[in-house]
């Protein structure tokens, strides 16, 4: 008996068939309505038959709505009156997401009748890809060339196990294929239908009948997922009845909470229900569902249960950190040849959402890498983060891997890495260096840097070291070097700088808690100084705080910044008040800052340095200043002294080089680490040139024409010997510089010069100091100085040294115009570069004023001695 019946899911429990069509009504346009290539099909003798164009390669299809997907039985009758082949076959779509079954983007499952193997098989179709064989039927099942009669039954359980059965007589004595695989790739369906491919002679060779799709299985609760603190998405294994699935009374948490609202997640998806609750979820929850029915009236009395954690939380400072860095992948030790960083959820209870979290280098112009909205980390979970094309290299069981676009390139020698929240807040910062490996072999590559104690995540070099794992690192796993390394040290105030009249920047020894550091009441300037009205910690490392003042500072007027307390990012707070002196810098003019010491010929393995001295009463900011030397072609080889604020106080000196540690090693007793500044690059400073000092806008502040001839000729070697300024207020010329004393190791970087002399006092016109000198470069009376103070400008002078017998020993000055005050030095060397003999000497000074013709002559006695 033929019957026509289509029952949808909104009817009572007595309905067991969701789709039934035996074409007894003589059409396929109603009860149910099939759409597609309608002109290419007909109903004849109560069967659906093909009637398409007689053209080889033609594909025709019909489909009808059907949402049955799991816990379902599909059955149909077919007769293919042809010899099946790759160009003559029929696909019966059990589940399809699109009405157009010929669309290559369609997804779902279909039974294929025929094909090259003349079989009945089950396939899965993934979007745009070739169909995947799920159950491979016995070859030759449909071997007739004129009459391939078959009835097919396919069953899918709620556990996603598939069974394919057939009866080649068209009856119901089914024979099952041996394979019964599990495939749960697709859980949703929208259409059922047939798709035919044929050659020109077979356009009317396909017939179908008795389509029945049945679901007599109650629905299951697949999962529950917290969307936020009060919304929950509930997912069933099949399409649900709206009346029961969207009834809030059918749901509750085991804690007793019931939802205030329930609705389908979207109109196109009747498998997912969004529940809204009136209070926040606990960390762990269990949802219960009762008396919910599927689209076909099958009721699950329940309770159906699903456990779920509280919603993924946006990370806060200290939750998400970088715990491992692999910057130098060669030579390979055991890790993949790909850079990576490892991130870690420090929380023991919180699931962290990585949605919108950014990873990158703040100094780079490349956009930050951004994690996908679905990315998350469970409590205590690690994850590898690498380039998007390198994910497969780190994929292994138990290891979570993320490969966001724009993964930053990691510099081998060191770099700064930052994790930022979706709203731009800094979550974590690390500025690593290859010195952190603490192992010269591992520093060369193939080994990762691992954090030692994740609870001391604010630490720097002391909390990182090279991995000890035999593979070279532990990507996605607990670090091999993990150990307790508690941070109990409170931050200290290092210095303070006035950036402008109303802004003071405070520098601290470690990363601060950005919230407490922003409390303006913790900072004060010495009375009657201006009030601090705002405090702004500077990211990404929060070692600096910019303070806004209520009124302006006065230039070069010293004051003191006091910090009541400072708290680092792990909670250590400083105790007593801390303070730092500062003043508003003012512009320097030529001669305010001078070159005070120069080492241009270092020892083997040593580095060059230049020391500058502020001989003014001003506070001077050296930010953007440059030091350099003039090259033979007239150009200048220069480097910046400081890209950031660096204030030189009155009388202060600073020595600049490429390695402060090198200067401390070569001059351990005569250098001061507090006054050494390390630069990344430095001018060449050959043996003869002009050293130049420029301010931030390129104006020359000082210059010194130097050469190796300025050194004491009695030195056995000039290597590692600096030239020191003799008088701070003297001219920047060769006569005001002398070789540093041997007693201090031949240089004084960051310390007062060993050969410095104060300007002599008194009103004498000409004086010689000391009266006895010993030119042995021991730093004590190494040269004699003729100091002069003239009554008026315009004198030209000649200064000559004679021994006690009146013999010419040395011409010091020849017809040089002199300023009104100054000095001339004699180092005890004669005109032939040899040390003069011990004894008495006469310094003959001849002064002449060309404007008036006036002449003066003076004789001064000095003794050249020797130490015994």
What are the two backbone dihedrals, phi and then psi, of residue 663, each rounded to the nearest 5 degrees?
-65, -40
Structure confidence at residue 759 as a pLDDT band (50, 70, 90): low
Give the C-alpha separation, 590 to 43, whole Å.
104
Structure confidence at residue 9 as a pLDDT band (50, 70, 90): very low
Give the C-alpha separation, 724 to 596, whole Å.
6
Report the percentage of the chain scoring pLDDT > 70.
97
How many C-beta atoms lie closer than 10 Å to residue 268's C-beta?
8
Where b means 16+ CB within 10 Å and e means fewer, 571-607 reads ebebeeebebebbbbbebeeebbbbbbbbbbbeeebb
Statement: residue 284 has pLDDT above 90: no
Report the percentage of the chain scoring pLDDT > 90.
76
Largest CA distance in the chain: 150
More confident residue, 622 or 280: 622
Question: What is the predicted pLDDT for the residue at 269?
Answer: 85
Give the C-alpha separation, 770 to 786, whole Å.
9
Structure confidence at residue 529 as a pLDDT band (50, 70, 90): confident
Looking at every residue in the chain, the average pLDDT score rounds to: 92
747 touches 740 (CB < 8 A): yes
Question: What is the predicted pLDDT for the residue at 349?
Answer: 77
Statement: residue 185 has pLDDT above 70: yes
Give the C-alpha separation, 422 to 419, whole Å.
10
Statement: residue 509 has pLDDT above 70: yes
How many C-beta atoms lie closer than 10 Å to residue 126's C-beta?
14
Q: Dump pLDDT digits (tens) for 132-153.
A: 999 999 999 999 999 999 999 9
CA distances from 35 to 39, 51, 93, 111 (A): 10, 15, 14, 20
Mean pLDDT of 417-446: 95
Statement: residue 6 has pLDDT above 50: no
Q: Dump pLDDT digits (tens) for 647-682.
A: 999 999 999 999 999 999 999 989 999 999 999 999
- Tokens of residue 527, six digits: 């009375």
Question: What is the predicted pLDDT for the residue at 234?
Answer: 95
Expressed in angstroms, the distance from the first to the final Cα of the chain is: 136
Give the C-alpha separation, 762 to 760, whole Å.
7
- Tokens of residue 739, six digits: 């070789």
* Residues facing residue 781 across a β-bridge: none
Domains in the chain and their CATH numbers? 4-214 (2.60.120.560), 221-309 (2.60.40.1220), 320-466 (2.60.40.1260), 493-582 (2.60.40.1220), 593-744 (2.60.40.1260), 766-864 (2.60.40.4070)
Statement: residue 398 has pLDDT above 70: yes
Q: What is the CA radius of gyration of the chain?
A: 45
Give the C-alpha separation, 515 to 622, whole Å.
31
Question: What is the predicted pLDDT for the residue at 715?
Answer: 82
- Tokens of residue 733, six digits: 């010329």
Question: What is the predicted pLDDT for the residue at 764?
Answer: 54
Lowest mean pLDDT among 11-25, 260-274, 578-592, 809-823: 11-25
Question: What pairing do the DSSP bridges indicate for beta strands 206-214 and 47-50?
Answer: antiparallel
pTM: 0.56
Statement: residue 100 has pLDDT above 90: yes
Question: What is the predicted pLDDT for the residue at 336?
Answer: 96
Question: What is the predicted pLDDT for the residue at 760?
Answer: 53
Structure confidence at residue 477 as a pLDDT band (50, 70, 90): very high
Nearest alpha-carbon partner for 582 in 652, 624, 525, 533: 525
Question: What is the predicted pLDDT for the residue at 754?
Answer: 84
How many C-beta atoms lie closer than 10 Å to residue 814's C-beta?
10
Question: What is the predicted pLDDT for the residue at 15?
Answer: 39
Q: Dump pLDDT digits (tens) for 142-181.
A: 999 999 999 999 999 999 999 999 999 999 999 999 999 9
Q: Dump pLDDT digits (tens) for 350-379.
A: 889 999 999 999 988 889 999 999 899 988
What are the two backbone dihedrals, phi and then psi, of residue 667, each rounded to the nearest 5 degrees?
-130, 60
Lowest mean pLDDT among 78-87, 303-312, 412-421: 303-312
541 touches 420 (CB < 8 A): no
Give the C-alpha separation, 404 to 714, whole Å.
66
Question: What is the predicted pLDDT for the residue at 17?
Answer: 57
Q: How many residues does the chain have?
A: 868
Statement: residue 14 has pLDDT above 70: no
Give the C-alpha separation, 132 to 109, whole Å.
9
SS3 248: helix
Q: Where are the beta strands (DSSP E) in 346-454?
A: 352-353, 358-360, 369-370, 376-377, 382-386, 401-402, 414-420, 426-433, 449-451
Structure confidence at residue 10 as a pLDDT band (50, 70, 90): very low
Residues 6+ apart with CB under 8 A from 562: 523, 524, 525, 526, 577, 578, 579
36 touches 101 (CB < 8 A): yes
Statement: residue 383 has pLDDT above 60: yes
């Amino acid at each position: 008996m033929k019957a026509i019946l289509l029952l949808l899911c909104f009817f009572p429990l007595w309905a067991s068939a969701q789709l039934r069509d035996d074409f007894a009504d003589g059409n396929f346009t109603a009860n149910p309505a099939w759409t597609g290539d309608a002109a290419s099909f007909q109903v004849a003798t109560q069967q659906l038959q093909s009637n398409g164009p007689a053209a080889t390669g033609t594909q025709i299809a019909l489909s009808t709505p059907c949402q049955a997907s799991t816990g379902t039985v599909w059955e149909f009758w077919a007769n293919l009156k042809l010899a099946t082949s790759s160009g003559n076959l029929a696909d019966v779509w059990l589940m399809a997401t699109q009405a157009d079954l010929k669309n290559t983007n369609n997804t779902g499952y279909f039974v294929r009748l025929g094909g090259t193997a003349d079989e009945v098989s089950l396939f899965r179709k993934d979007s745009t890809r070739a169909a995947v064989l799920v159950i491979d039927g016995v070859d030759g099942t449909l071997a007739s060339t004129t009459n391939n009669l078959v009835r097919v039954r396919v069953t899918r359980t709620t556990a996603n196990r598939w069974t394919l059965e057939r009866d080649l007589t068209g009856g119901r004595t089914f024979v099952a294929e041996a394979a019964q695989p599990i495939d749960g790739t697709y859980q949703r369906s929208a259409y059922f239908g047939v798709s035919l491919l044929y050659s020109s002679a077979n356009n009317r060779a396909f017939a179908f009948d008795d389509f029945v799709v049945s679901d007599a299985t109650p629905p299951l609760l697949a999962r529950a997922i917290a969307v936020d603190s009060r919304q929950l998405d509930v997912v069933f294994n099949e399409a649900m009845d709206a009346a029961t699935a969207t009834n809030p009374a059918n749901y509750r948490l085991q804690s007793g909470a019931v939802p205030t609202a329930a609705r389908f997640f979207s109109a196109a998806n009747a498998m997912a229900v969004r529940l809204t609750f009136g209070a926040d979820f606990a960390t762990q929850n269990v949802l219960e569902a009762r008396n919910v029915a599927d689209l076909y009236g099958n009721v699950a009395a329940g309770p159906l249960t699903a456990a779920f954690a509280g919603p993924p939380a946006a990370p806060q400072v200290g939750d998400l950190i970088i715990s491992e860095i692999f910057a130098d992948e060669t030579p390979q030790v055991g890790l993949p040849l790909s850079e990576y960083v490892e991130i870690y959820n420090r929380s023991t209870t919180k699931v962290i959402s990585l949605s919108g979290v950014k990873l990158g280098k703040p100094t780079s112009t490349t956009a930050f890498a951004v994690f996908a909205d679905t990315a998350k980390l469970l409590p205590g979970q690690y994850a590898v983060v690498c380039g998007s094309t390198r994910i497969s290299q780190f994929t292994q069981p138990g290891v979570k891997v993320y490969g966001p676009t724009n993964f930053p390139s990691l510099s081998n020698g060191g770099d700064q890495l930052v994790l930022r929240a979706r709203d731009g807040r800094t979550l974590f910062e690390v500025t690593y260096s290859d010195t952190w490996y603490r192992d010269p072999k591992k520093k060369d590559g193939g080994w990762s840097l691992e954090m030692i104690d994740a609870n001391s995540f604010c630490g720097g070099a002391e909390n990182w070291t090279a991995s000890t794992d035999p593979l070279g690192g532990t990507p996605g796993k607990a670090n091999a070097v993990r150990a307790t390394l508690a941070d109990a040290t409170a931050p200290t105030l290092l210095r303070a700088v006035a950036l402008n009249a109303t802004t003071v920047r405070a520098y601290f020894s470690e990363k601060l808690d950005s919230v407490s550091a922003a409390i303006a009441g913790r900072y004060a300037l010495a009375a009657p100084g201006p009030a601090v009205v705002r405090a702004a910690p500077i990211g990404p490392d929060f070692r600096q705080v910019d303070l806004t003042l209520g009124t302006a500072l006065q230039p070069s007027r010293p004051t003191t910044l006091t910090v009541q307390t400072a708290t680092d990012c792990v909670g250590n707070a400083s105790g007593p008040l801390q303070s730092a002196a500062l003043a508003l810098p003012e512009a320097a003019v030529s001669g305010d800052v001078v070159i005070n010491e120069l080492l241009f010929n270092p020892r083997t393995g040593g580095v060059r340095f230049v020391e500058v001295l502020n001989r003014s009463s001003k506070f001077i900011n050296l930010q953007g200043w440059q030091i350099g030397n003039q090259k033979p072609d007239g150009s200048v080889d220069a480097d910046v002294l400081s890209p950031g604020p660096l204030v030189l106080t009155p009388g202060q000196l600073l020595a600049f080089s490429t390695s402060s540690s090198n200067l401390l090693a070569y001059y351990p007793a005569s250098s001061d680490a507090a006054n050494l500044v390390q630069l990344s690059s430095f001018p060449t400073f050959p043996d003869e040139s002009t050293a130049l000092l420029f301010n931030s806008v390129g104006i020359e502040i000082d210059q010194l024409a130097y050469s190796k001839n300025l050194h004491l000729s009695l030195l056995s070697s000039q290597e590692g010997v600096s030239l020191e300024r003799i008088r701070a207020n003297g001219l920047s010329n060769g006569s005001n510089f002398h070789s540093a004393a041997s007693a201090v190791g031949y240089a004084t970087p960051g310390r007062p010069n060993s050969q410095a002399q104060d300007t002599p006092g008194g009103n004498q016109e000409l004086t010689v100091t000391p009266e006895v000198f010993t030119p042995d470069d021991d730093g004590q009376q190494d040269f004699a100085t003729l100091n002069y103070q003239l009554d008026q400008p315009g004198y030209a002078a000649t200064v000559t040294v004679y021994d006690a017998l009146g013999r010419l020993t040395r011409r010091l000055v020849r017809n040089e115009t002199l300023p009104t005050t100054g000095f001339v030095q004699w180092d005890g060397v004669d005109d032939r570069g040899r040390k003069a003999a011990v004894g008495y000497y006469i310094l003959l000074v001849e002064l002449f004023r060309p404007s008036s013709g006036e002449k003066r002559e003076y004789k001064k006695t000095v003794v050249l001695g020797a130490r015994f």
